[in-house]
Amino acid sequence: MPIHHVPARKDRRTTFAVGRLCAIGSLATIVAGLLAPGVAGAGETRSVLVTFDTTDHVRQALERVSAFRNGHGIGGRTVAIASSDRNFATLAATPGVLAVEPDLTYRAADLPNDPCISSPGACNGLTSTYVNQIDLDAAWSNSKGSGVTIAVLDGGVDPGNPDVASKLVAGEIDYVGDGPSTHGTSVAAIAGAATNNGVGIAGTGWNAGLRSYKVLDQSGAGLLSDVISALHAAADSGANVINMAFAGAASVALDEAVGYARNKGAVIVAAAGNDGATTPVYPAASPGVIAVGSTTTNDTIAPFSNTGSWVDLYAPGVSVPAPNSSGVIAPFTGTSASTPIVSGVVALMRARSPGLTNDQVADLLTSTAVEIGAGTLRVDAGRAVSTWSPYGGLANGLRIAGGNVDGDADQEVVTGAGAGGGPHVIVADRTGPILGSFYAYDPGFRGGVDVATGDLDGDGRDEIVTGAGPGGGPHVRGFNASGTPLAGFFAYDPGFTGGVNVAAGDVDGDGRDEIVTGAGAGGGPSVTVRRADGTLLASFFAYDPGFTGGVDVSTGDLDGDGRDEIVTGAGAGGGPHVRAFSMYGTPYAGFFAYDPGFAGGVRVGTVDLEGDGRDEILTGPGPGGGPHVTARGADGTMLRSFYAVAPGFTGGIDVGGFSGSLLVGTLKDVDTARIVPTN
């Protein structure tokens, strides 16, 4: 890709060194600060950034105010001018001015004195230990970052490095003009180097494209005005992720540019800096930016990393393999190494779930992270990428199931919107793309929809089974993957409005799956077994007939005889009682999945966790319990347990599974779905 050079400005020689950070105060304070001893002498010309309250005031100032005649917009509501102190009063008095600031110098956030950077020959045997540390393999199994672009605002990339240059989706924009730096090349490579090509390192973002904006010179210094211009350019280009691995002082103009990029849809990730201090640095501490600190290979905070409540997340940052400007793979240490790891993970997340907002990405990153100390979160790529929001943050939760509904070689994830949302069913590839969606009932229905999958006609392809949620009749329907209706019936009295839970499995051994239903809350614990056309084959009560909390249902071959058993979970009001039956209601097994005193109900599913031809029973607590998922043998023996989402969540968890994976989804408050490998 060609490099596009931005013409050098006459005032480039005038910069302001960054000292200890200070907050931007009133306009009078800013102007006084510009005149303070040690900053510039009286009458000296320097580069100044002026931020206005509206773009109209920017235009008016450039056209009508003499002090701005030599100025130029650098993006949004900020103007850069060469000014002497004689004009400060004019600047301050100009209508609409929010802030006047020096054009600060920002500096790269790596550790340039690391001996492995200057002497790469001393670092033989370098390995990408962070791949295992943050579970990148699991993340890559769910997303390759395709269709997402990471904008790297840094020191430029080496055009002779094919592992990096080949990933550029457009020519580099160069604001400096002194050639690429090791810092910029290393950062870009960690974020998005060509992967699975047998060359160099594996970029965290795998297939994600790169855009390079050179805002730092070879010494690692750059002007705030160039950073602001690059932020606007990157946002306007449609970049999904913006990576900034440098640090400096606070700036109103910088925050304006960050806000502009976020409003354009970019997730912004920035280095927390390497001072070993707690004082915020910018842009990491700017509103809406994901601030990244560094950890060691032992999951402790690196001694050089800045810390504090303003740091959102940590990632490995010690001896991370990366190419330098000579193409040699060498250790790269500092928060500049940690930041592109997180940016790459964000790219995988955005490819997996393109509907995620900036805030949802940040929330998922932190809610799925590993706590390595009190309040210290280390990114977990596997969990972050395998977790997504099918309905874009719907606060009503979802139901989840898995099956091969399109007849290909892989399994799909099927979700149904929870109560409060429309009866919206989504079919998604396990790696992220939505394959189809449809409304199972009238779009105006707001009771939610339960979902299951099963091969109802014996053709080797699963159909989708839906059950109407509370407020509608107990209407069960079958669909193909594209939403074409295939069958339907009322499982109970049409006047019953408690909803109906559904499952599908071959419970009679005839090679076709039957539909199993459980009555929703308000009805007795009635379970029915029917053919796809509604023909009743069997029915029984899973619990005491007087219990009216409803019953969840699933199916699975618990004993390996080729015929599925029916698994039930008591609804709200009863203990978390799980039972298994033959199709005719003969009890097979039973246990309490959680404390018997818990009355929030229990959701059930099945999956062959151990690959032995026998399904295990999955459980998730109903609303009111923590997000504790268990996998057990039919006799209740615990085989595995984990938290589906952050431990403090109490909205309830739905469970399901398919070959090689567990599926979990939040029942209320938020629509979070997650794929969890069985190994």
Tell me: the pLDDT tens digits for 5-19?
554 443 333 232 222
Assigned domain for 399 exists: no
Assigned domain for 391 exists: no
Assigned domain for 14 exists: no
Strand order in the sheet with 587-592: 551-556, 565-570, 577-581, 587-592
Rounded average pLDDT over 166-174: 93
Tell me: the pLDDT tens digits for 146-165?
999 999 999 999 988 888 98
The CATH number given to whatever domain includes residue 221 is 3.40.50.200
How far, in Å, CA of 178 to CA of 217, rounded? 6
Is 237 a residue of the active site? no
* Same-domain pairing of 147 and 96: no
Tell me: the pLDDT tens digits for 428-484?
887 767 889 999 999 999 999 999 999 999 999 999 999 999 998 999 999 999 999
Task: List beta partners, residue 338.
Answer: none
What pLDDT score was predicted for residue 145? 93
Tell me: the pLDDT tens digits for 533-549?
999 999 999 999 999 99
Buried b (16+ CB within 10 A) or exposed e, 132-143: ebbbbebbbbbb
Tell me: the pLDDT tens digits for 491-537?
999 999 999 999 999 999 999 999 999 999 998 999 999 999 999 99
pLDDT beyond 60 at 29 = no
The catalytic residue among 103, 154, 513, 564 is 154
Q: DSSP string of 479-531?
A: E-TT--EEEEEESS-TT--S-EEEEEE-SSSSSSPEEEEEE-TTS--EEEEE-
The catalytic residue among 11, 163, 183, 338 is 183
* Same-domain pairing of 362 and 490: no
Indicate left, alpha or beta for 388 from its phi (over 0: left) and psi (-120 to 50: alpha). Answer: beta
Is 154 a residue of the active site? yes
Q: Which of 195-204, 223-232, 553-562, 610-619 has the lowest mean pLDDT?
A: 195-204
* Same-domain pairing of 76 and 164: no
Rounded average pLDDT over 620-638: 95
What pLDDT score was predicted for residue 640? 94
378: CB partners within 8 A, 6+ apart = 134, 295, 299, 313, 314, 315, 369, 370, 371, 372
Assigned domain for 397 exists: no
Rounded average pLDDT over 387-392: 84
Residue at a domain's end among 46, 81, 103: 103
The catalytic residue among 141, 186, 251, 336 is 336
Residue at a domain's end among 386, 416, 434: 386
How far, in Å, CA of 176 to CA of 647, rounded? 47
How far, in Å, CA of 335 to CA of 324, rounded? 16
How far, in Å, CA of 7 to CA of 10, rounded? 9
How far, in Å, CA of 593 to CA of 569, rounded? 9
Burial of residue 300 (number of CB atoms within 10 Å: 0-12, 13-18, 19+): middle
Q: Which domain holds residue 458?
A: 404-677
pLDDT beyond 70 at 21 = no
* Same-domain pairing of 257 and 281: yes
**Average pLDDT over the chain, rounded to whole?**
86
Helix (H, G, I), strand (E, B) or coil at 47: strand
Assigned domain for 5 exists: no
Tell me: the pLDDT tens digits for 47-103?
777 787 777 776 776 666 566 656 677 777 777 777 655 565 667 677 788 877 777
What are the distances in angstroms from CA 625 to CA 109, 119, 525, 643? 43, 54, 21, 11
- Identify whether 280 is preceded by a cis peptide bond (ω within 30 of 0): no
What pLDDT score was predicted for residue 151? 98
pLDDT beyond 60 at 25 = no
Residue at a domain's end among 82, 103, 124: 103
What pLDDT score was predicted for residue 123? 34
pLDDT beyond 50 at 134 = yes
The CATH number given to whatever domain includes residue 609 is 2.130.10.130
* Same-domain pairing of 115 and 241: yes
Would you state the structure tokens that stand for residue 669, as one six-digit string?
A: 């408050």
Assigned domain for 3 exists: no
* Same-domain pairing of 95 and 120: no
The CATH number given to whatever domain includes residue 55 is 3.30.70.80
Would you state the structure tokens that stand for residue 138, as one six-digit string?
A: 């699991």
Assigned domain for 459 exists: yes
Would you state the structure tokens that stand for residue 108, as one six-digit string?
A: 């790269």
How far, in Å, CA of 170 to CA of 183, rounded? 20
Q: Smallest Cα–Cα separation from 200: which of 343, 332, 352, 380?
A: 332
* Same-domain pairing of 428 and 570: yes
Helix (H, G, I), strand (E, B) or coil at 408: coil
* Same-domain pairing of 451 and 575: yes
What pLDDT score was predicted for residue 122? 38
DSSP 122: G
Rounded average pLDDT over 274-302: 96
* Same-domain pairing of 83 and 153: no
pLDDT beyond 60 at 411 = yes
Tell me: the pLDDT tens digits for 175-194?
998 888 889 999 999 999 99
* Same-domain pairing of 330 and 435: no
Length of the chain measured in residues? 679
Rounded average pLDDT over 650-676: 92
pLDDT beyond 80 at 344 = yes
pLDDT band at 137 (very low <50, low <70, confident <90, very high): confident
* Same-domain pairing of 89 and 122: no
pLDDT band at 35 (very low <50, low <70, confident <90, very high): very low
The percentage of the chain sitting over the pLDDT mark of 90, rounded to a whole number, equals 62
* Same-domain pairing of 525 and 556: yes
Assigned domain for 39 exists: yes
How far, in Å, CA of 610 to CA of 607, rounded? 9
Selected residue with higher pLDDT from 4 and 628 = 628
Number of domains in the chain: 3
pLDDT band at 125 (very low <50, low <70, confident <90, very high): very low
Would you state the structure tokens that stand for residue 507, as one six-digit string?
A: 């419970």
Is 166 a residue of the active site? no
Q: Smallest Cα–Cα separation from 219: which of 335, 107, 377?
A: 107
